[in-house]
Structure 1
Amino acid sequence: MTGLRIGFIGLGNMGGRMATCITRAGREVLGFDTVPANISAAGATPAANVADVANSSDIVLLSLPRSSVVEDVMLGESGVLENLRHGQIVVDLSTSTPASTRMLGGKVSAAGASYLDAGISGGAAAAEKGQLVLMVGGEETTLARARPVLELFSSKIFYTGESGAGHTTKLLNNFLNATTLSATAEVMVAGKKAGLNLDVLLDVINNSSGVSFASLNRFPKIIKGDYLKGGLTNTLMMKDVLAYVELAAELGVVSPNSAGPLASFGLANALGYSEQISNRVVDAIGDASGGVRLFEQASVGLKKLPETKEQQ
Structure 2
Amino acid sequence: MRIGFVGLGNMGGRMCACVVRGGHDVLGYDVREANVTAAGAKPAASVGEVTDGSDILLLSLPDSHVVEAVVLGDDGVLAHARPGLIVVDLSTAAPDSTTRLHGMLAERGAAYLDAGISGGAAAADKGALTLMVGGEAGVLDRARPVLDLFAANIFHCGPSGAGHTVKLLNNFLNAIALSATAEVMVAAKKADLDLETVLAVLNAGSGVNFATRNRFPSIIHGDYLKGGLTNTLMLKDVNLYVELVARLGVASPNSAGPLASFGLARALGYADEISNTVVDALGDLSGGVRLHTKEDPAA
Q: Same fold (TM over 0.5)?
A: yes
| Shift in Å, 1:83 | 0.5
Say yes or no: does 1:183 pair with 2:180: yes
| Shift in Å, 1:206 | 0.3
Say yes or no: does 1:169 pair with 2:166: yes
| Shift in Å, 1:296 | 2.0
Quote the Cα distance in structure 1 between the aligned partners of 2:295 and 2:40. Answer: 34
After TM superposition, which residue ranges in structure 1, 4 or more long, deviate above 6 angstroms?
none
Quote the Cα distance in structure 1 between the aligned partners of 2:75 and 2:197. Answer: 57
The residue number in structure 1 matching 2:236 is 239
The residue number in structure 1 matching 2:48 is 51
Give the root-mean-square deviation of aligned CA atoms: 0.9
The residue number in structure 1 matching 2:157 is 160
Report if aligned partners of 2:221, 2:293 keep a CA contact under 8 Å in 1. Answer: no
Say yes or no: does 1:194 pair with 2:180: no
Partner of 2:10, secondary structure, is coil
Partner of 2:74, secondary structure, is coil
Say yes or no: does 1:125 pair with 2:122: yes
The residue number in structure 1 matching 2:99 is 102
| Shift in Å, 1:298 | 8.3
The one-letter code of the counterpart of 2:49 is D
The residue number in structure 2 matching 1:230 is 227
| 5+ residue gaps, structure 2 | none
The one-letter code of the counterpart of 2:270 is Y
Partner of 1:286, secondary structure, is helix
Q: Please, which of 2, 5, 8 is the counterpart of residue 8 of structure 1? A: 5
Partner of 2:152, secondary structure, is strand
Say yes or no: does 1:73 pair with 2:70: yes
| Shift in Å, 1:82 | 1.3
The count of corresponding residues between Structure 1 and Structure 2 is 296
Q: Please, which of 254, 258, 262 is the counterpart of residue 261 of structure 1? A: 258
Partner of 2:82, secondary structure, is coil
Matches within 5 A, 1:201-212: 201-212=198-209
The residue number in structure 2 matching 1:283 is 280
Partner of 2:176, secondary structure, is helix
The one-letter code of the counterpart of 2:134 is G
Quote the Cα distance in structure 1 between the aligned partners of 2:52 and 2:265. Answer: 42
Say yes or no: does 1:217 pair with 2:191: no
Partner of 2:52, secondary structure, is helix
The one-letter code of the counterpart of 2:268 is L
Quote the Cα distance in structure 2 between the aligned partners of 1:204 and 1:247. Answer: 35
Quote the Cα distance in structure 2 between the aligned partners of 1:13 and 1:227. Answer: 15
Q: State the TM-score, normalizing by the size of structure 2.
A: 0.98
| Shift in Å, 1:26 | 1.1
Report if aligned partners of 2:28, 2:36 keep a CA contact under 8 Å in 1. Answer: yes
Q: Please, which of 89, 94, 99 is the counterpart of residue 92 of structure 1? A: 89
1:220–1:161 CA distance, 2 compared to 1 (3 A): same
Partner of 1:14, secondary structure, is helix
Partner of 1:86, secondary structure, is coil
Alignment deviations for residues 7-38 of structure 1 (CA, whole Å, 9 cap, x no partner): 00001110000000011111000000000000
Quote the Cα distance in structure 2 between the aligned partners of 1:270 and 1:150. Answer: 37
The residue number in structure 2 matching 1:35 is 32
Quote the Cα distance in structure 2 between the aligned partners of 1:97 and 1:295. Answer: 37
Quote the Cα distance in structure 1 between the aligned partners of 2:83 and 2:274. Answer: 40
Say yes or no: does 1:18 pair with 2:35: no
Report if aligned partners of 1:225, 1:298 keep a CA contact under 8 Å in 2. Answer: no
Quote the Cα distance in structure 2 between the aligned partners of 1:293 and 1:234. Answer: 18
1:41–1:248 CA distance, 2 compared to 1 (3 A): same
Report if aligned partners of 1:30, 1:44 keep a CA contact under 8 Å in 2. Answer: yes
Quote the Cα distance in structure 2 between the aligned partners of 1:298 and 1:33. Answer: 39
Partner of 2:270, secondary structure, is coil
The one-letter code of the counterpart of 1:145 is R
Quote the Cα distance in structure 2 between the aligned partners of 1:275 and 1:64. Answer: 15
Quote the Cα distance in structure 1 between the aligned partners of 2:185 and 2:294. Answer: 16
Partner of 2:88, secondary structure, is strand
Q: Please, which of 287, 291, 294 is the counterpart of residue 294 of structure 1? A: 291
Quote the Cα distance in structure 1 between the aligned partners of 2:71 and 2:266. Answer: 30
Quote the Cα distance in structure 1 between the aligned partners of 2:93 and 2:141. Answer: 22
